[in-house]
Amino acid sequence: MRLKQIIREQLEMLIERESRKSIPAQKLVSFAEKCNFFNTSEITDDNQQYLTLYYKNPQDGNYDANVRRDLSKLSKMVDMAGWTINSSGNHYDGLRDYYKRFNNPDMNVGTIFVNLEPEYSQKMDDYFGTKENEIDNNDDYGDYDLEKHLGVGYQRGIFYHVTERRYLKSILAHGLRPQNGGGITRWRETTPRLYLSLLPDFSDIEYQYDDDEEYEDDKVILKIDLRQVMNSFDFYVDNRYSNAVYTYAGIPPKFIEVMDNNTLRRFNSKYQMEQLIKYYFDRILKANWVDYSEYEKKRAVSYNSFIVAEKLRSLVTKMADNYNIDKETLRNLDYEIKQYISNYCNN
């Protein structure tokens, strides 16, 4: 009977893995306990993204031999469950306090921990949401967070990727491929992934705008347009990085283009303008209605929307040159301010 149960559990995990799903965290913990690894923190939901398990020596033999045996069993089980051990080892003394939660004074406390994360986290569309019945039309994400989209706006199927110019020839010839060991996955032992961003990242490339010379270590932003083929890809959210999603599929070169400096200037100009609107809007709230409830703040802003808009217009215009906001972008300032105030009051 015990053998049948083990076989059934393993089949369940393999079915989840083949359907590109990771089993829920709670179920993973119950399986891990059979390998003498225990969870000491509360599991919040089925989509929990990270777990840390601690080893309890069963005291039926040599400690080192037990650890090797149980860690090997755990590793196989975790892989079958659609999770991965991204790091493991001896914990420092301060973490010994976690073991007290077991409430077992006779436990032989070991020094081994493992950090785990699902290979398949929450899917991108499930996480960000889409406008009802419009997802096949490649519309923008519906209920996106204003603080996250930073004036650019998530658009389903449009992604960005930062690389160095030295890699462009290979990428444009062969496409982007999942890999591991560098950049965003340097400290994590996951299956090779391809990370993309929902927003362009200007932080490493602004200094290149005024220089037409090209160098191998220049940072280059690639725009990936998968709007017509999104049903062929599965993207997952990485909650440790803002706006980051990953896939296990490669991206062919025909979907990739290099963003030139003029395009980057336009994107960056809009980005900076939206950031200033948000920054000065928050300052206006604090200066005038800091002790109000959120409901009262929204009513006050709505009642004083013209005054707030004029103040924002003055402040952003004054700082435009300092933040490389061009005149073409500034032509849309009144509209962007109106939209920002409207979104604040109505959400």
10 has pLDDT over 70: no
- Residue 306 or 262, more confident: 306
pLDDT in tens, 256-282: 999 877 777 787 788 889 889 999 999
**Domain locations along the chain:** 2-118, 124-259, 265-346
Give per-residue pLDDT as tens, 36-72: 898 878 888 777 888 888 888 777 777 778 888 888 8
The single-letter DSSP state of residue 212 is: -
| Strands (DSSP E) found in the chain | 37-39, 51-56, 83-90, 109-118, 158-164, 194-197, 219-225, 236-237, 244-247, 256-258
Q: What percentage of residues in the chain have a pLDDT greater than 70? A: 74
- Contact indicator for 176, 248 with CB cutoff of 8 Å: no
Residue 1's pLDDT is what? 47
Question: In the CATH hierarchy, which fold is given to the domain comprising 124-259?
Answer: ADP-ribosylation fold (3.20.170)
- Say if residues 254 and 197 touch (Cβ distance below 8 Å): no
Task: Name the residue with higher pLDDT: 314 or 268.
Answer: 314
Calculate the dihedral angle through the C-alpha atoms of 306, 286, 344, 301, rounding to the nearest 10 degrees. Answer: -30
pLDDT score of 146: 33
93-97, 119-123, 260-264, 273-277: segment of lowest average pLDDT:
93-97
Residue 8 has pLDDT above 70, yes or no: no
CATH of 2-118, picked from 1.10.10, 1.10.3470, 3.90.1150, 2.60.120, is 3.90.1150
**C-alpha distances in angstroms, 136 versus 132, 227, 229, 233?**
10, 9, 10, 14
Residue 329 pLDDT more than 80? yes
Q: How confident is the model at residue 164 (pLDDT cuts 50, 70, 90)?
A: confident
Q: Do domains 2-118 and 124-259 have the same CATH topology?
A: no
Report whether pLDDT(97) > 90. Answer: no
Residue 109 amino acid letter: V
Whether 309 shows a pLDDT value over 90: the answer reads: yes
Structure confidence by residue, pLDDT tens digits, 65-78: 888 888 888 988 88
